Amino acid sequence: MTPRSLYRLVAFAEVVTWTLLITGLVLRATTGWALGVTIGGGIHGFVFLAYAATALLVGIDRRWHPGAVFLAVAAAVIPYATIVAEVVLDRRGMLAGDWRRKPDAAGDRTPLDGLVRWFVDRPVLLIAVAAVALVGIFAALLLAGPPGGR
């Protein structure tokens, strides 16, 4: 899987979860069924975190400017904007190429470059560490409570 295909997959997943959340909100407003928001919101929250992690991983690997990483993550806050972000990044060539598995002519610019390369060479470990981190962050956010309080 290339950086482009991973980013595209998670950006699409973010769109699907926005649809689930919005459907849940409409059902709650029209029928009073609040469980739809709980389910859609939980799924959306987890996929949002996965999208943010993916944007960070791809942004470091592709050597995006920090502002581009911020804008990619911020796109997840606006419903369906991750698809727009993916199209713009792809058209600008910012998703092109395979994962950097070795230092290129420019070398590692930051310690994060080397760390990302190390993890990219160990995809099973990368997925395991990312999953544990995402579950931990998600659990902490659940303990903190829903946005806007109860």
What was the pLDDT predicted at 150?
63
Q: Where are the beta strands (DSSP E) in 19-135?
A: none
CB-based contacts of 82: which residues, under 8 Å, 6+ apart?
A: 10, 11, 12, 14, 15, 51, 75, 76
Over the Cα atoms of the chain, what is R_g?
A: 17
* Buried-state track 74-110, b at ≥16 Cβ within 10 A, e below 16: ebbeeeebbeebbeebeeeebbeeebbeeeeeeeeee
What was the pLDDT predicted at 129?
97
CB-based contacts of 130: which residues, under 8 Å, 6+ apart?
A: 50, 53, 57
pLDDT tens for 92-125 read 999 999 999 888 777 777 888 899 999 999 999 9
Nearest to 87, CA basis, from 78, 97, 95, 99: 95
The stretches in the chain having pLDDT less than 50 are none
pTM tops 0.85 = yes
